[in-house]
């Protein structure tokens, strides 16, 4: 057995081969074992691509280590390819000398033709630069599952558990957690449970008895802070953050949502938590989803809607209405490649300018962006805090990489979470010309400029709201030019004033550094990993990462002025760099990538060194 400090493993196969499940199970066992980890699921864009074709390849990459890591790895050390298409789609990422495990039973002439191979790569010498292990996974799975009486086609579906068993043995993972999970997951179908169990054991036993592999490997547990951990992905963390926000605000949660990749899992997760006062509505379309959420906020709930870029297009008019009504609303945007349908299963950061400016009129909104899968929990609470305190819609940005990627998360101390509760208006707040006590909906708090929030039906608090411009104070419909300008300035000042209520931008600075790497969102891990690599070369560099994108941190101008060179890595064509160049008149240079894949640390390492040179 060889000891490793880290390893990157990629499972790849047809979309029906269960690679996401296989990778998720290996990840969960590694988390239980105590490794630090980071994952990158890679889904095919086609729902039902022809089996065995490149368009249908599904992959799951997991990076496990005995120390703190930040990314799912630039390239796999080990590739498990279940068919020729998976091999062809992924072999370019496997470094020379890497380990390749292939299911030889899927390399027939027809399989090779579907993948575009003129010759069998297992026989033509094209894989000579790798350590190749040929394993007849399908045949051994069928043989192992025979006692269940399952039909061959059904039995073959268990071959992913054969692969999981083999890799479990190869990396000395515990077997009991996986066996227990199989029993629980498939308890309602005894044949499937038994088939998967037998296939998993067969893969494990094959590794132990075949004398095929040179050695096994061990990646010891990481030295993590004491506490209770769970392995969590971004969408689950975000959903839990919204549940926590409802509890911290002492308000019911209402989610109005229309299913869309990669945001749908938030709807699925929140629908499980009715016991926390969460109500979910799967609406007929994106517009109905946000309209219902805004109506819930009008009625005294914390209204939330979830979507991706195409849904933000459709929700924009109602966001404008929420700005005019000045009611709390959280709009969660899990970004994906665009425009239009674009790359529905791939990641991108290209909605920043859309959520910043994508409405008619002067319609500013706060923007909060999560930076890691587990940070989605904190970002959700922060978005709720701002929405409730300032009576405004808030955009909460995540993306496909954060949504589906996972990492260990130390459960927070509940008592340490902030109190974000609000007080509803209960009494009239104005005396009219006739001496009557009345309620005016646009009398503002002097500090926050937030208007009072009155639940409909509260006696004496009847008031008018709507999309037409209101008179300051009374809320009566007003077409007066001066009043409109005043209301525009008040709404803008309210959002701008949030800058006094958010943390300063923190800088990971080294004395003598002249270059600042400025990032936001999911680029955090790749940037920080690249910065560590550059520093290991003896080169000084600084890193600042933004969570609040509107308004920007109050000290950001001072931070930017300290550096002679600034680069901004983004998975778009330079949207944050445009914002900081316009706001602070600095030469912020873009490092861009729009390939549907996150940055690799090596890419940003090269970009930093090039900027320094």
The answer, yes or no, to whether the previous bond of 258 is cis (omega within 30 of 0) is no
Please report which residue ranges of 345-429 form alpha helices under DSSP H: 352-357, 375-390, 400-404
Distance (Å, rounded) from C-alpha 534 to C-alpha 517?
12
Distance (Å, rounded) from C-alpha 185 to C-alpha 198?
15
Distance (Å, rounded) from C-alpha 372 to C-alpha 361?
33
The region that residue 52 occupies, defined by phi over 0 for left and psi between -120 and 50 for alpha, beta otherwise, is left
Q: Give the pLDDT score at 158.
A: 97
Of the chain, the percentage scoring pLDDT greater than 90 comes to 97
Rounded to 10 degrees, the C-alpha dihedral 588/590/591/595 comes to 150
| Tokens, residue 574 | 């330079």
Q: Give the pLDDT score at 465.
A: 86
Distance (Å, rounded) from C-alpha 217 to C-alpha 180?
23
pLDDT higher than 90, residue 46: no
Determine the average pLDDT of the residues in 138-165. Answer: 96
pLDDT higher than 90, residue 48: no
Q: Give the pLDDT score at 63.
A: 98
Q: Give the pLDDT score at 220.
A: 97
| Domains of the chain and CATH, by start | 2-219 (3.40.920.10), 230-416 (3.40.50.970), 507-612 (3.40.50.920)
Tens of pLDDT, residues 378-421: 999 999 999 999 999 999 999 999 999 999 999 999 999 999 99
Q: What are phi and psi of 428, to 5 degrees?
A: -55, 150
Q: Give the pLDDT score at 613.
A: 87
Q: Per-residue confidence at 119, pLDDT binned at 50, 70, 90?
A: very high
486 sits in which H/E element = helix 481-496
pLDDT higher than 90, residue 49: no
Least confident range from 23-37, 42-56, 282-296, 417-431: namely: 42-56
Tens of pLDDT, residues 436-467: 999 999 999 999 999 999 999 999 999 988 89
Neighbours of 477 (CB within 10 A): 11
Q: What is the mean pLDDT of the chain?
A: 96
Q: Give the pLDDT score at 566.
A: 98
For residues 199 and 191, is the Cβ–Cβ distance under 8 A?
A: no
Q: Give the pLDDT score at 214.
A: 84
Q: Calculate ∠ Cα 197-202-204, nearest 5°.
A: 100
Tens of pLDDT, residues 350-389: 999 999 999 999 999 999 999 999 999 999 999 999 999 9
Please report which residue ranges of 124-280 form alpha helices under DSSP H: 137-145, 152-156, 159-170, 176-185, 190-209, 234-249, 264-270
Show Cβ contacts of residue 115 under 8 Å, excluding neighbours closer than 6 positions.
Answer: 52, 53, 54, 83, 84, 85, 87, 88
Tens of pLDDT, residues 189-245: 999 999 999 999 999 999 999 989 989 999 999 998 999 999 999 999 999 999 999
Overall pTM > 0.85: yes
Distance (Å, rounded) from C-alpha 475 to C-alpha 478?
8
Q: Calculate ∠ Cα 483-488-490, nearest 5°.
A: 90
CA dihedral for 598, 83, 344, 405, sign (positive or negative): negative
Distance (Å, rounded) from C-alpha 114 to C-alpha 56?
11
pLDDT higher than 90, residue 47: no
Neighbours of 361 (CB within 10 A): 11
Q: Give the pLDDT score at 58.
A: 96
């Amino acid at each position: 057995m060889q000891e490793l400090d880290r390893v990157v493993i990629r499972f790849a196969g047809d979309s029906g081969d269960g690679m996401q499940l296989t990778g998720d199970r290996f990840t969960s066992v590694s988390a239980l074992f105590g490794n630090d980890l980071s994952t990158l699921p890679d889904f095919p864009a086609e729902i039902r691509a022809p089996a065995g074709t490149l368009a249908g390849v599904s992959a799951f990459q997991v990076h496990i280590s005995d120390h703190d890591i930040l990314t799912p790895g630039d390239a796999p050390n080990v590739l498990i390819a279940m068919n020729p298409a998976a091999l062809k789609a992924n072999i370019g990422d496997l470094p020379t000398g890497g380990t390749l495990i292939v299911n030889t039973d899927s390399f027939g002439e027809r399989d090779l033709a579907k993948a575009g191979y003129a010759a069998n790569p297992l026989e033509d010498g094209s894989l000579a630069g790798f350590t190749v292990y040929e394993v007849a996974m399908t045949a051994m799975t069928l043989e192992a599952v025979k006692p269940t009486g399952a039909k061959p086609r059904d039995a073959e579906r268990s071959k992913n558990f054969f692969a999981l068993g083999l890799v479990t043995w190869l990396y000395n993972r515990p077997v009991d957690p996986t066996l227990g999970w199989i029993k629980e997951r498939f308890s309602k179908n005894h044949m499937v449970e038994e088939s998967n169990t037998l296939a998993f054991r067969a893969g494990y036993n094959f590794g132990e008895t075949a004398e095929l592999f040179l050695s096994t490997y061990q990646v010891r547990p990481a030295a993590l802070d004491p506490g209770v951990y769970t392995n969590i992905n971004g969408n689950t963390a975000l959903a839990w953050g919204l549940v926590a926000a409802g509890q911290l605000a002492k308000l019911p949660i209402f989610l109005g949502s229309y299913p869309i990749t990669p945001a749908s899992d938030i709807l699925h997760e929140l629908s499980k938590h009715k016991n926390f006062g969460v109500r979910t509505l799967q609406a007929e379309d994106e517009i109905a989803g946000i309209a219902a959420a805004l109506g819930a906020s009008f009625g005294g709930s914390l209204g939330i809607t979830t979507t991706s870029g195409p849904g933000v297009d459709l929700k924009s008019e109602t966001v404008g209405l929420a700005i005019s009504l000045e009611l709390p609303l959280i709009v969660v945007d899990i970004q994906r490649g665009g425009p239009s349908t674009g790359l529905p299963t791939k990641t991108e950061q290209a909605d920043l300018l859309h959520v910043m400016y994508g409405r008619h009129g002067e319609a500013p909104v706060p923007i909060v962006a999560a930076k890691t899968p587990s940070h989605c929990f904190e970002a959700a609470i922060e978005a709720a805090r701002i929405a409730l305190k300032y009576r405004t819609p808030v955009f909460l940005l995540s993306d496909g990489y954060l949504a589906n990627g996972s990492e260990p998360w130390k459960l927070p101390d509940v008592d340490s979470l902030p109190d974000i509760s609000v007080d509803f208006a209960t009494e009239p707040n104005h005396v009219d010309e006739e001496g009557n006590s009345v309620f005016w909906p646009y009398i503002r708090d002097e500090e926050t400029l937030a208007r009072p929030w009155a639940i409909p039906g509260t006696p004496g608090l009847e008031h008018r709201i709507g999309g037409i411009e209101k008179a300051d104070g009374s809320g009566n419909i007003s077409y007066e030019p001066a009043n409109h300008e005043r209301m525009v300035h008040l709404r803008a000042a309210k959002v701008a004033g949030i800058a006094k209520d958010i943390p300063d931008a923190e800088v990971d600075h080294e004395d003598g550094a002249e270059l600042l790497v400025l990032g936001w969102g999911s680029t955090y891990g790749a940037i920080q990993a690249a910065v560590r690599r550059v520093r290991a070369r003896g080169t000084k560099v600084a890193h600042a990462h933004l969570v609040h994108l509107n308004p920007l941190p109050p000290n950001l101008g001072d931070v930017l002025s300290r550096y002679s060179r600034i680069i901004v890595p983004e998975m778009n064509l330079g949207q944050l760099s445009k914002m900081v160049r316009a706001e602070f008149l600095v030469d912020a240079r873009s490092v861009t990538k729009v390939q549907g894949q996150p940055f690799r640390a090596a890419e940003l390492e090269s970009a930093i060194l090039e900027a320094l040179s």
